[in-house]
Amino acid sequence: MEIQDIKTQLSITVVLVHYYLTTDRSDRLCCPWHNDKTPSLQIYPKTNTWTCFSSSCNAGSGDQIDFIMKMENCTKHEAIMKAKDLIGREIINKKTNSLKTDYNQLFSQFKRNIKSEKVKQYLDSRNLNHKQIEIGYNANTWSYLKHCIIFPLRNPTNEIVSFYGRSIYDKENAKHFYLKNRSGLYPSYPKEETKTLILTEAIVDAASLLQLNLEMEVLAMYGTNGLTEEHTEAVSQLKYLEEIIFFMDGDEPGRKAIEKWTPVIKELQPKVKISYVATPEGEDVNSLSKSHESDIFTHLLGNRIEIQTAQQDLFSSSESSIEKRKVAENGRFVKQQSDFDSSNQRTYTTKARQQNIISKEESRMD
Ligand SMILES: [Zn+2]
């Protein structure tokens, strides 16, 4: 195939789609080669060429092959090979009529973007390490989840099927982003041989725990209400499961979530022990990982509290209760009263007595 043949057969639009780039109505988009806030890259579909009009950019103009060269940072020869490959795939796509997003390919692109200074600063502020956990970054190469740290969500066969995006601008009510077709679990479906499973309230919390290399599996809920069908399905499949540990935020919604989901888990896995970590008030897993050495997690997990659901009481309509199981191990722990309101009076009432909570003042580990 001659270069001229390639140029007539491969439209610039197919190249853009391949890199998950979309143009606006005037065939413009944000230039992927400079920090572009207004769409400066003009696409000319008729001639299959493009020009970046920003004075702060040296991308200039080019055709489909130049576009690929710049995107892949490769030689002209490699770009031509890639172009041939795209033509081949386009033919298959037209035959099967499938233009499915290739999340795996997209994610490998996001992983390459993680090195920017702005992203590093954000990750440092969250105590997240891209060398220890699988994350990527999307500035504006993809038209969804812009300026987000990207966490892959995986299906039961461990393929990436969707993403969660956490905005690095971290605005109070606009930091969590899911795709419309959210599916899959983070970091993955728990391994078949899982014995102990920690459930966290958020993906960032799960990521923080993963960095500790605990000998426990971790699974993120999607917020306090985010125990989805996929979660319950995954949990019910675990044949060797012995214990589920809730590690929610140290606040009212976090405690309510434990209360809400305990009977659900109990029904899925009646023989499994259910416990929770007494997260210090106002803290969550990620905030603790920022302010403390990792041994705080050893302490908190070691002092987790078993939830007694007292199945035998269900028929006598008496209360079942959450009781503390472990006694404080050293002077840093203070006793504090903390009652759980029950919203499920008929079958399930919980009460935490003398829950051990590490107060902010006393939990500093110098
Ligand atoms: Zn540019």
**pLDDT by residue (tens digit) across 21-63?**
888 889 999 999 999 988 999 999 999 999 999 999 999 999 9
Place of tokens 């728990």: 190
- % of the chain with per-residue pLDDT over 90: 62
Query: Mean pLDDT throughout 322-351?
Result: 32
pTM over 0.75: no
Asked if the model's pLDDT at residue 220 lies above 90, the reply is yes
Q: How many Å lie between the centroid of ligand 1 and the Cα of residue 61?
A: 9
What is the model's pLDDT at position 93?
62
Q: How many Å lie between the centroid of ligand 1 and the Cα of residue 34?
A: 5
What are the contacts of 24-30 at 24+ separation with CB within 8 A?
A: 30/140
Single out the residue of 207, 279, 197 nearest to residue 232, CA to CA: 197
How far apart are alpha carbons 154 and 264 in whole angstroms?
A: 23
What is the model's pLDDT at position 361?
30
Give how far Cα 55 sits from Cα of 31, 58, 85, Å: 12, 8, 33
Confidence of residue 76 (pLDDT cuts 50, 70, 90): very high
Give yes or no for a contact between 243 and 274, defined as CB atoms under 8 angstroms apart. yes
Q: Where are the beta strands (DSSP E) in 155-304?
A: 160-171, 174-178, 196-200, 217-220, 243-247, 273-276
Asked if the model's pLDDT at residue 353 lies above 70, the reply is no
Q: How many Å lie between the centroid of ligand 1 and the Cα of residue 56?
A: 7
Q: How many Å lie between the centroid of ligand 1 and the Cα of residue 277?
A: 50
Q: How many Å lie between the centroid of ligand 1 and the Cα of residue 59?
A: 5
What is the model's pLDDT at position 102?
81
Q: How many Å lie between the centroid of ligand 1 and the Cα of residue 252?
A: 48
Architecture of domain 101-184: Alpha-Beta Complex (3.90)
Q: How many Å lie between the centroid of ligand 1 and the Cα of residue 60?
A: 7
Q: Domain locations in the chain? A: 3-100, 101-184, 191-366
Q: Which residues pair with 218 in a beta bridge?
A: 198
Architecture of domain 191-366: 3-Layer(aba) Sandwich (3.40)
Confidence of residue 92 (pLDDT cuts 50, 70, 90): low
How far apart are alpha carbons 292 and 320 in whole angstroms?
A: 35
| Other CB atoms within 10 A of residue 350 CB | 23
What is the model's pLDDT at position 180?
83
Confidence of residue 15 (pLDDT cuts 50, 70, 90): very high
What is the model's pLDDT at position 347?
27
Give just the sign of the alpha carbon dihedral 91, 67, 1, 4.
Answer: positive
Does domain 3-100 bear CATH number 3.20.20.120? no
Asked if the model's pLDDT at residue 77 lies above 50, the reply is yes
Q: How many Å lie between the centroid of ligand 1 and the Cα of residue 176?
A: 29
What is the model's pLDDT at position 24?
87
| Other CB atoms within 10 A of residue 131 CB | 6
The tokens describing 268, both together, are: 């899925």
How far apart are alpha carbons 12 and 19 in whole angstroms?
A: 11
Q: How many Å lie between the centroid of ligand 1 and the Cα of residue 38?
A: 10
Q: Where are the beta strands (DSSP E) in the chain?
A: 28-29, 41-44, 49-52, 61-63, 136-138, 148-154, 160-171, 174-178, 196-200, 217-220, 243-247, 273-276, 305-306, 334-336, 355-357
Query: Mean pLDDT throughout 309-330?
Result: 40
Confidence of residue 319 (pLDDT cuts 50, 70, 90): very low
Q: How many Å lie between the centroid of ligand 1 and the Cα of residue 51?
A: 8
Q: How many Å lie between the centroid of ligand 1 and the Cα of residue 105?
A: 23
Q: How many Å lie between the centroid of ligand 1 and the Cα of residue 69?
A: 14
Place of tokens 């722990």: 333
Residue with the bigger pLDDT between 140 and 275: it is: 275
